[in-house]
Amino acid sequence: MYRYDEFDHRFVAERVSQFRDQAARRLSGELTEEEFRPLRLMNGLYLQLHAYMLRVAIPYGTLNGKQMDRLAYIAEKYDRGYGHFTTRQNIQYNWIKLEDTAEILEKLAEVEMHAIQTSGNCIRNVTTDQWAGAAADELADPRPVGELLRQWSSLHPEFSYLPRKFKIAVTGSPHDRAAVRVHDIGLRMHLNDKGERGWEVIVGGGLGRTPFVGVTVRDFLPEAELRAYLEAIMRVYNLYGRRDNKYKARVKILVHELGKEEFQRQVEAEYARKPATNVELDVAELQRIETYFAAPAYEELPKFSTGFENARIQDKEFAQWVKVNVAHHKQQGYAIVNISLKPEGGIPGDATAEQMRVVADLGRRFSFDEIRVSHAQNLVLPHVKRDDLYTVYIALKAHNLASGNIGLAGDIIACPGLDYCALATARSIPIAQGISRRFADVKRQEEIGPLKINISGCINACGHHHVGHIGILGLDKKGEEYYQITLGGSSSDDAAIGSILGPGFAADEVADAIEKILDTYLGLRTGPEETFLLAYRRVGEKPFKEALYANH
């Protein structure tokens, strides 16, 4: 894992003291709320419906036990004993006081964390594959590039007042778990014949009101040029991105309005004007960072773990959990443990301080002190010995952390919605809870197979409903919440935006509607290997429409 050196420490400490000063000037009235707003936003502090919300960055979703313990401490001391892990691999606290914020930031800085640029019209926290460094299918760990970009984008003097927020995702695996096609910039690693790393640069993807799948502007950008090339993209966007309409200000609109070729031409012209002169510095920095991401000291283990196999035979529930929640590790004898934060009827992504401490402790004991946050709002212990899986499972189970539903119907992504968010048009949490209860039976979830249900509480799409296999968007019709359903979206390699099925449903009809859709799917699939998404792509929306609207 990356560790701060004295420069990183100094930088974050100064940032905290700067914020302390800004908050004091706001509290004394020297700064108007309007002037203070972007300053606090750039430190992750939002004003929500009932209180301030503080969003803490978890760069590329990686953290250690000490950091997780600190997040638990903050949840207890300054919030109501829990935190909410987000779709951008961050954590947010919903009940924070402005007066406490500088102190919280100080506590975070002590464990090498911050809230820099988790909000505001700047380059946001970089996200990546939650299995980075562990996945069996990975070309190389993308996190060194994630860290390079974290540093480069932190308080970037030229790109801190962009037309709109800017999100970057990176992946080092051919199987995209970072949704790189639906980010402002998505970076995907490739290897050439010589085994050198290069990056496919995808620009202009995004969700929100006008969802787009991004376009590839470079197929194979040499790694050393990454930072310089990104600077050219950012400059074109900063100068020519629309600022007249907040809803047209994301880079996806610029790319769309100019067209891929013209956008690409402008970026290349800017890049050619200022060729990467200092790539040596980038290379040196990247090499320095890479040393922190060296593989942990794995033991040489046999393929077969007797303890694990016995436990699997004796405890059927464990066997089921393993089947669904445990993934292949690149190192023989190890496994990736996915911890679901989606218990039956729970709030997706919420964890109590106690649960955070349990995970921190398990990470220290069984996963080389490494924990990940996934963009599906779950947690991951990336390097667990197969021999230890049962012990880990029992500990998780004791704290309601052993739901075996990763990637299934119960693994719902949902934004905070009207329960917290000032922009919401409808609630999303109760909808998620309703569906989660309806499909509580793991057997049934397994029968249905891989499924992504994503829920947003308004058109801003923080719950990524466009790319859910089943997407649910909460809207408001004359004071009544109603929910629009889309089918066929995906954020993976086969990225696609879902299409709207038909008229919306009232809150209490949603779970029924989802059930009908899934029953229809089960009835028409060619076999269990034809997933919901594949089946939908084969048959189209007609059978689902008929099932849903036949009696309407």
Partner 1 sequence: MPIIKDGAFAPDPWVAITDDQPIPATGDIWVSLARLDSDWGTLCSHAGELGVEVPNTTKAEKLKPYLGKLSLILLPFPAYTDGRAYSLARLLREEGYIHDLRARGNVLPDQLQFMKQVGFTSFEVTDRFPAEVWTKAAQHISAVYQEGYTEPHAARTAIWEARRARS
Q: By the criterion CB under 6 A, which residues form the site for ligand SF4?
A: 415-417, 421, 423-424, 456-458, 460-463
Secondary structure letter of residue 490 according to DSSP: B
Rounded to whole angstroms, what are the CA distances from 10 to 31, 45, 100, 144? 26, 22, 21, 21
Query: In the set 278, 306, 310, 332, which binds partner 1 (CB under 8 A)?
Result: 278
Q: How far apart are CA 550 and CA 552, in angstroms?
A: 6
Binding of partner 1 at residue 274 (CB under 8 A)? yes
Say how many residues touch partner 1, by CB under 8 A: 39
Out of ligand SF4, partner 1, none, what residue 354 binds, judged by CB under 5 to 8 A for its kind, is none
In whole angstroms, how close is the CB of 238 to partner 1 at the nearest point?
5
Smaller CB separation from ligand SF4, 432 or 547? 432
Q: Which partner in partner 1, ligand SF4, none is near 38 (CB below 5 to 8 A by kind)?
A: partner 1
- Cβ nearer to ligand SF4, comparing 485 with 535: 485
Residue in 49, 76, 106, 156 binding partner 1, rule: CB under 8 A: 156
Burial 259-298 (b: 16+ CB within 10 A, else e): eeeebbebbeebbeeeebeebeebeebbeebbeebeebee
Q: How far is the CB of 158 from ligand SF4 (least distance, A)?
A: 28
Part of the chain binding partner 1 (CB under 8 A), chosen from 65-73, 160-168, 434-442, 463-471: 160-168
Nearer to ligand SF4, 217 or 421 (CB): 421
- Near partner 1 by CB under 8 A, which window of 146-154, 192-200, 353-361, 400-408? 146-154
Interface positions, 202-221, toward partner 1 (CB under 8 A): none
Please report, to the nearest 10 degrees, the dihedral formed by the alpha carbons of residues 125, 127, 130, 135 taken in order: -140
CB of 425 to ligand SF4, least distance (A): 7
Between CA 130 and CA 115 the distance in angstroms is: 20
Task: Give the DSSP H or E segment for 326.
Answer: strand 326-328
Identify residue 234 by its one-letter amino acid code: M
Separation of alpha carbons 214 and 496, rounded Å: 10
Q: Which helix (H) or strand (E) holds 351?
A: strand 350-352
Residue 11 partner contact from partner 1, ligand SF4, none using kind-dependent CB cut-offs of 5 to 8 Å: partner 1
Q: Give dist(CA 360, CA 91) in Å, integer.
A: 15
Q: Which is nearer to ligand SF4, 198 or 348 (CB)?
A: 348
Minimum CB separation of residue 43 from partner 1 in Å reads 12
Q: Which lies closer to partner 1 via its Cβ, residue 157 or residue 195?
A: 157
- Residues 334, 339: Cα–Cα separation, whole Å: 16
Looking at 239, 398, 422, 506, which residue binds partner 1 (CB under 8 A)?
239
Q: Residue 161 Cβ, how far from partner 1 at the closest point, in Å?
A: 3
> Of 24, 27, 35, 192, which one interacts with partner 1 (CB under 8 A)?
35
Q: Which letter, b or e, does each residue of 524-542 get, where b requires 16 or more Cβ atoms within 10 Å of its Cβ?
A: ebeeeebbbbbbbeeeebe
Q: Could you give the CA distance from residue 395 to residue 92 in angstroms, rounded to a whole number? A: 25
Q: Which long-range contacts (CB under 8 A, 24 or more apart) does 288-292 make?
A: 289/2, 289/144, 289/147, 289/148, 290/144, 292/1, 292/2, 292/3, 292/144, 292/147
Hey, CA dihedral for 393, 398, 399, 400, is it positive or negative? Answer: positive
- Least distance to partner 1, CB of residue 170, Å: 17
Q: How far is the CB of 240 from partner 1 (least distance, A)?
A: 9
Q: Does 242 bind partner 1 (CB under 8 A)?
A: no
Judged on CB neighbours under 10 Å (0-12, 13-18, 19+), 306 is: exposed
Q: How far apart are CA 355 and CA 400, in angstroms?
A: 8
User: Residue 421 binds what, of partner 1, ligand SF4, none (CB under 5 to 8 Å, by partner type)?
Assistant: ligand SF4
Stretch that binds partner 1, among 1-9, 188-196, 353-361, 437-445 (CB under 8 A): 1-9
Closest approach, Cβ 291 to ligand SF4, in A, equals: 38
What are the strands, taking DSSP E only, across 117-237? 127-128, 168-171, 185-191, 197-203, 215-222
Q: For binding to partner 1 (CB under 8 A), which residues are involved?
A: 5, 7-8, 10-11, 14-15, 17-18, 21-22, 30, 35, 38-39, 121, 151-152, 154-162, 235, 238-239, 243, 273-274, 278, 281-282, 284-285, 288
